[in-house]
Structure 1
Amino acid sequence: MPITLSAGRRIAAGLLGAAVAVTAAATPAAAAPAAATGPLSVTAQTLVLNPTSQGYEGTLTATVTNNGTTGDYPSVFLTEPAGGSFTTVDPGFGCVILGLVENRMQHSCASVAIQPGETQTWRLGFHVWTTPRKYAMSATGGEFGVMSNGSSEMSDTVGFTTLFQSTNGSLKKPQPYVQATRSDLSVTAGAVSLNRQADGSLQGRMPVTVRYGNDAPSFGVDLTAALPAGVVVDHTEPQDMPSGGDWFSVPGTRFMPGEQRTFDVVLTAPAGTPAGALGTASYTAAANYCYCAPVEDISPADNTASFTVTAVG
């Protein structure tokens, strides 16, 4: 059964701190297949990504063979060909993020048992959230490896090439795929009025627009709110992630380059808050990618939108 990897905050919740300790063992340089140094060996085919309405998707087929004399419960290691692109794995489970190599994630996944002489076929899904092109593209740096249970050294690794099929179905004359590494976010928001409720508290709804300008990898966009005293974020509409107090996330799936979303943020203030101008507030957006490093932005100034908050009634 294939396992689908979670995203954004959901990914962070499943991380294992101990995984960081094996990062060094999981980072051999991507290259041609090297001779296996342990009882396990691997192969990997070319990954072909097909254009869709939201980027490119495809499945890498790889194998793990047990050339030893005893059964094993190995771990497999993957370096993505594009940042934030690894989505599913079969038959593995319990995948964790180990860190970044050139802004591409490294993952480790546990495996089911493999007996002497047995070969397992692995299927690893990928989704690159970039605009499909009229020409084919290619990416290098993807790597698949395996480590025997109880070992601290890789048994075998293999690099694989990634091809992006053009929108007309061609794989000929691929051009290099260059993924952005810094986000290009912008936020806009207008003034908001909080209206008096029956219980004396205040509530107001305001539209917020967030634009994601390029294909820098991220699993979502989080916003931090700086609000006048007593004013808090209650929720967003629509809402598919927790929010409240001084932060919230943009609803929906991952962004495509150039995509813009407008949604409502609902603010509240307690009973007893006086009518009138409450002050100036702001929302600051940041892309959510790897727990191990913040995402830098091309132009941080437009990541923040300022607005006024007024209590009415």
Structure 2
Amino acid sequence: MTTRTARIATALLGGAAALITLAAPAAAAPSAATAGRVDVTAQRLVLDPTDRGYVGTLTATVTNRRSTATSVSLVVTEPAGASFTSIEPGGGCFYNRLVENRLVIGCGGEQIEAGKSLTFRLGFHVWTTARSYPMVANGGRIEVVPSGAAAASDATGFTTLFRSTSGSLRKPRPYVQAVDTDLGIRGSAVTLAPQPDGTLLGRMPVTVRYGNDAPTFALNVGATLPAGVQVDHIEPQDMPSFPHGFSVPGGRFVPGEERTFDVFLRAPAGTAAGELGTGSLTVTGSYFYGADDPQDVDPSDNTTSFTVTAAAAS
């Protein structure tokens, strides 16, 4: 199995919550310029620091100026790669494409009564190290597409501010997200011991390190092993493993995080005792399905090699 076939497809998000319909105050009739439009406005997004990145919620309001109820979809360009997490209210969301390594996400369709407004809450989580100074990112964008329309009826950009660890938003510096990953993996020699069914099984602790904040949704590991030897399973395990690959457990990483887990290798019954050969594990990041895996700043530590030995029956 190749790393690509072990890719985790994370192309579907969903979110559902209570519908929030704003009670619109009395207002003058729409002008000729706005009559029949569906508009969108958004506040700035403020992200608060946590011990695992920055989190925050953006409020966006869509107003239906038409004379009939209209269903709308939102197209969201996130301010940082792999940061969009949720929408309320909202149906399923799908990753459409990349723009400057940031995802463009389509979320559909909520109905808005004629002359009414609907407020959406969009969640974001940027997996980067919290700084002692505030930061700013531009490029976030929301488009509203009425049902049956071939293009957006309206669009608005929004600014994203990262609050400093002391709570300040004054004099923010630009936030620059890494594009190339900085991954590392370490394993060690493993000995396979005879099991009651005649096969041989061995445990190898493996450590994976995530060095920066390049966007990925999963880390996949491809295994090259001596003849007859396969990956049996990993512990802990939150995704299926395969004979020649698995995904690193535990979800997203923050920069500098290391995670250790156990990889279990198995050889078939009848395997002769002695050194079986050298195996290796190679880690890569998985981001947007259909695009190439992210490049790494130093591929030399993306692979770890180790000897595999079969123990004699006692």
* 1:312 aligned partner: 311
Deviation at 1:37?
Answer: 10
How far did residue 223 of structure 1 move? 0.3
| Percent identity (aligned) | 58
Partner SS for 2:155: strand
- Tell me which residue corresponds to 1:210: 208
Q: Give 4+ residue runs of structure 1 displaced > 6 Å after superposition.
A: 35-38
Choose which of 224, 232, 242 in structure 1 pairs with 2:230. 232
Structure number, greater radius of gyration:
2
State the one-letter code of the partner of 2:8.
R
Count of aligned positions:
286
SS at match of 1:73: strand
One-letter amino acid matched to 1:130: T
Where does residue 11 of structure 1 map in the other structure?
A: 10
User: Contact conserved, 2:35 with 2:65, CA < 8 A, in 1?
Assistant: no
d(CA) in 2 for partners of 1:241, 1:47 = 33
Q: Distance in 2 between matches of 1:203 and 1:264?
A: 12
Alpha-carbon distance in 2 for matches of 1:37, 1:231: 69
Cα-Cα RMSD: 1.5
Structure 2 matches for 1:83-102, cutoff 5 A? Answer: 83-102=81-100
Give the superposition deviation at 1:157: 0.6
- List per-residue Cα deviations over 1:245-294 (Å, max 9, x = no partner): 11111111210101011110011111111111111111010112111322
Q: Which amino acid aligns with 1:92?
A: G
Q: Is the 8 A contact 2:34 2:65 kept in 1?
A: no
Contact 1:38 1:154 in 2 (8 A): no
1:260 to 251, 258, 261: 258
Q: Is the CA contact 1:72–1:149 (under 8 Å) kept in the aligned structure 2?
A: yes
Q: TM-score, normalised by structure 2?
A: 0.88
Q: Which residue among 176, 186, 201 is the counterpart of 2:174?
A: 176
Corresponding residue number in structure 1 for 2:4: none
Q: 1:41 to 1:188 in 2, by over 3 A?
A: same
Q: Relative to 1, partners in 2 of residues 1:37 and 1:305: Cα closer, same or farther, differing over 3 Å?
A: farther
Q: Which amino acid aligns with 1:296?
A: Q
**Structure 2 residue aligned with 1:151, among 141, 149, 156?**
149
Counterparts in 2 of 1:41 and 1:163: CA distance versus 1, 3 Å: same
Q: Structure 1, residues 119-160: CA drift from partner, whole Å, max 9, x if none?
A: 000000000010000000000000011111111111111000
Deviations 1:73-125 (A, max 9, x none): 11100000000000011011110000110110010001221111110000000
Q: CA deviation at 1:43?
A: 0.2
CA distance in 1, matches of 2:10, 2:88: 18
User: Which amino acid is 1:301 matched to?
Assistant: S
For residue 283 of structure 1, what is the amino acid of its counterpart?
L
The match for 1:77 is: 75
1:117 corresponds to: 115
Output the CA distance in 2 between the equivalents of 1:9 and 1:251.
12
- One-letter code aligned to 1:216: A
Tell me the secondary structure at the aligned position of residue 277 of structure 2: strand
- Note closer, same or farther for the CA distance 1:9–1:248 as it changes in structure 2 (3 Å cut): same
Match of 1:58 in 2: 56
* Residues 78, 190 of structure 1: alpha-carbon distance in 2 compared, 3 angstrom cutoff: same
CA distance in 2, matches of 1:10, 1:103: 17
Residue 10 of structure 2: SS of its match in structure 1? helix
- Residue by residue over 1:208-242, the C-alpha shift from the partner in whole angstroms, topping out at 9 and shown as x without a partner, is 11100000011121100011111111111111111
Q: Identify if the C-alpha distance between structure 1 residues 201 and 37 changes in structure 2 by more than 3 Å, giving closer, same or farther.
A: farther
For 1:301, the equivalent position in structure 2 comes to: 300
Counterpart-to-counterpart distance in 1, 2:225 and 2:64: 59
